Amino acid sequence: MSSGAIQHIGIIGSGNVAWHLAHHLKSEGLTIDWIFSRNEQTGTELASSLSTKYISSLDEVQPDLALICVNDDAIQSIISQLPDSIPMAYTSGTKPLKDLLLEQQEIGVFYPLQTFSKEKAINLFEVPFFIEAENPVFAQQLFDLAWKLSRSVQFASSEARKHLHLSAVMVNNFTNHLFYLANEYLSQHDLDWQNLKPLIQETVSKLDSLSPFEAQTGPARRKDQATIETQLALLEGQQKELYQLFTDSILKTYSNK
Amino acid sequence: MSSGAIQHIGIIGSGNVAWHLAHHLKSEGLTIDWIFSRNEQTGTELASSLSTKYISSLDEVQPDLALICVNDDAIQSIISQLPDSIPMAYTSGTKPLKDLLLEQQEIGVFYPLQTFSKEKAINLFEVPFFIEAENPVFAQQLFDLAWKLSRSVQFASSEARKHLHLSAVMVNNFTNHLFYLANEYLSQHDLDWQNLKPLIQETVSKLDSLSPFEAQTGPARRKDQATIETQLALLEGQQKELYQLFTDSILKTYSNK
């Protein structure tokens, strides 16, 4: 491993994370040597969008860094295909580094705490990146690479990263699914989802001046059982279960307040 | 009832909705004649902040409109205390108008679809207001009053309003509670909740260009069972139940995609 700055990067994967990181790294002056992906179609698309090449074998590559942007269950297999001499980093929030440590290969974590969809451009400048590696020189190289993309770069243990990722699932994946359920519910009743936009904006805007504990409003916060019963009667199945579980959890949170 | 514009308003209630509507109405040039509230302390505070008077009985009041900003279960009792000649409107999302219709009193709905916390200033200009009244002249007066506060005013039936309110509970109350749970979870592990802010911003920002269906990411969307199992093992009690229920619901939503 060279101790200089990382300049030549190979990207492994062609999903949402690979797409955005590759484009941002290129924008910051890094060289994307190639894209490797099991999915030839999306791999070729990503390579083409970056004016670089798509490769179908990892046998003879030699970048400064192989950035592994694939599902957790595919990381191990990718590592075993890479030549021993290539430093590599992966972008998973959950996979512990110790599960992947190998004698002859340099490996680290390069985890951006953000949601990426291919169709949506994104500003990475405030996105927290969490870095981990056993070798301090390599860790610093990864840190410096992340610093080209963001002003929020931190070293974090696998343990801390796992907790951050779980909390991210709560505030993004589950929140977005609530938006989906509300959208579906309104559509079923021929009502316009756009009516909820100012409320959704304010839900987030409140966090600038109030904690989530302080910002809570609504029937469960007011212990308004009549409204809770009316609303439960409008729902069924998983949506009803979710309503009941949230209501119980909010009631419990404010039970002595 | 006069058919002219509403100018003199009495506010009933002194909670979050009363606080914000009273201040915004005053800002738009309406006269707040008085505040009536069961809670003398907060009622006096609100009256004082508006330079108006707090009253403890509804016997002899005579505004153009009594705006009832109280919990659903208190509306009926308030109505019975008001002199017959006073037009009144209430701000509830759920209470059907037909449950409250009376022979001798004019009554309508003035429902802002928004979350209000006393400590957080708010811009009402894009907030949807939903208006309902049997008498079309009174309905128009309420519409015109809302139009002084917002450029998103619509007539809506009690049925439509009930559905809108339930969807608002999902995207605000439940979303905010997810923020609370994530905050608590990170605190328990000595991690900084501020790390989630860019992600939360992006979760909402995505809705400008993607539907919630398209915007979904995360382990359940990827059908990444290994990560789901790891994350379930980190949780217990209601949080684990919520994780399981959201995961099942997301898996089901994308089961054929």
Q: What is the pLDDT of residues A124-138, one digit of tens each?
A: 999 999 999 999 999
**How deeply is A18 buried, as exposed, middle or buried, from its count of CB atoms within 10 A (0-12, 13-18, 19+)?**
buried
Q: Looking at residues B153-166, what average pLDDT do you find?
A: 98
Portion 64-103 of A in contact with B at CB < 8 A = 71-73, 93-94
Say what the pLDDT of residue B41 is: 97
| Chain A residues closer than 8 Å to B113 by CB | 195-196, 198-199
Residue from A173, A224, A240 whose CB has the most chain B CBs within 10 Å, to mutate: A173
pLDDT value of position B101: 78
Put simply, the answer to whether A170 touches B182 (Cβ < 8 Å) is: yes
CA nearest neighbour of B65 among B159, B151, B144 = B144
| Partner residue facing A171 (CB), from B167, B179, B241 | B179
Q: Which residue of B has its CA nearest to A17?
A: B217
Contact at CB, A168 and B115, closer than 8 angstroms: no
Please answer whether residues B130 and B164 qualify as being in contact, where contact means their C-beta atoms are separated by less than 8 angstroms.
Answer: yes
Give the nearest chain A residue to B229 (CA atoms).
A94
Beta-bridge partner residues of B154: B130
Nearest-CA distance A60 → chain B (Å): 30
Confidence of residue A177 (pLDDT cuts 50, 70, 90): very high
User: Three-state SS for B9?
Assistant: strand
| Alpha-carbon span B31 to B29, nearest angstrom | 7
C-alpha torsion A214→A215→A217→A221, nearest 10: -30
pLDDT at B38: 93
Chain A CB contacts of B218 under 8 Å are 115, 169, 172-173
**Alpha-carbon span B75 to B73, nearest angstrom:** 6
Chain A residue at shortest CA distance from B223: A71
With 90 as the cut, is the pLDDT of residue B156 above it?
A: yes
Please state the rounded mean pLDDT for residues B93-115: 91
pLDDT at A209 over 80: yes
Give the pLDDT band of residue A145 (cuts 50, 70, 90). very high
SS3 A68: strand
| pLDDT over 70 percentage in chain A | 99
pLDDT at B1 over 70: no
B219 and A160 within 8 Å at the Cβ level: the answer is no
**Mean pLDDT of the A146-169 span:** 98
Over residues A28-66, the pLDDT tens digits come to 999 999 999 999 999 999 999 999 999 999 888 889 999
- Is the predicted pLDDT of residue B173 greater than 80, yes or no? yes
Contact B200 A172 (CB under 8 A): yes
Residues B232-236 have a mean pLDDT of 96
Residues of chain A contacting residue B160, judged by C-beta atoms under 8 Å apart: 189, 191
- The full set of domains in chain A, from first to last, is 8-156 (3.40.50.720), 162-253 (1.10.1040.20)
Examine the pLDDT at B239 and tell me if it is beyond 90: yes
**Between A and B, how many residue pairs show a Cβ–Cβ distance under 8 A?**
301
Q: Is the pLDDT of residue B22 over 70?
A: yes
CB A18 within 8 Å of CB A45 = no
Average pLDDT over residues B162-188: 98
* pLDDT of the residue at A257: 67
**pLDDT attached to residue B105:** 83
**pLDDT tens string B27-66:** 999 999 999 999 999 999 999 999 999 999 988 888 999 9
Distance from CA of B148 to the nearest CA of A (A): 17
Q: Note the pLDDT of residue A254.
A: 96
- B119 band by pLDDT with thresholds 50, 70 and 90: confident
pLDDT (mean) for B149-176? 98
Listed by number, the residues of chain A in 141-200 with a beta carbon closer than 8 Å to a beta carbon of chain B are 152, 160, 162-183, 185-186, 189, 191, 195-200
* B257 in reach of chain A (CB within 8 A): no
CB B102 within 8 A of CB B79: yes
The C-alpha of A46 sits at a distance from chain B's nearest C-alpha, in angstroms, of 19
**pLDDT value, residue B214:** 96
Termini Cα distance of chain A: 58
Listed in order, strand segments (DSSP E) in A53-148 are 53-55, 65-68, 88-90, 107-112, 129-133
- Nearest CB among B168, B200, B231 relative to A207 is that of B200
Mean pLDDT lowest for which of B44-53, B96-105, B189-198?
A: B96-105
Q: Do A200 and B202 touch (CB under 8 A)?
A: no
Of A166, A234, A248, the CB nearest to B231: A166
- ipTM score of complex: 0.94
Higher pLDDT, B4 or B126: B126
Give residue-wise pLDDT tens across range A83-98. Answer: 988 999 999 999 999 9
Whole-number average pLDDT of chain A: 95
Percentage of residues of chain B with pLDDT beyond 70: 99
Q: Could you say which of A117, A218, A248 has the minimum Cβ distance to residue B217?
A: A117
Q: Is the pLDDT of residue B88 over 70?
A: yes
Of A116, A204, A250, the CB nearest to B217: A116
- Residues of chain B with C-beta less than 8 angstroms from the C-beta of A128: 195, 198
Determine the residue of chain A that is closest to B217 in CA distance. Answer: A173
pLDDT score for A77: 93
State mean pLDDT over B83-107: 90
Residue of A nearest to B96 (CA): A230
Q: Residue B257: what pLDDT?
A: 66
DSSP SS3 for A88: strand
Range in A140-144, A166-170, A189-193, B103-107 with the lowest mean pLDDT? B103-107
Q: CA-to-CA distance for A199 and B63, rounded, in angstroms?
A: 31
* Nearest by Cα to B91 from B40, B170, B7, B20: B20
Name the percent of chain A lying above pLDDT 90.
Answer: 88
This model's pTM is above 0.90 = yes
- Nearest-CB residue to B176 (from A122, A162, A216): A216
Mutual angle of helices B175-188 and A237-253, in 10-degree steps: 60
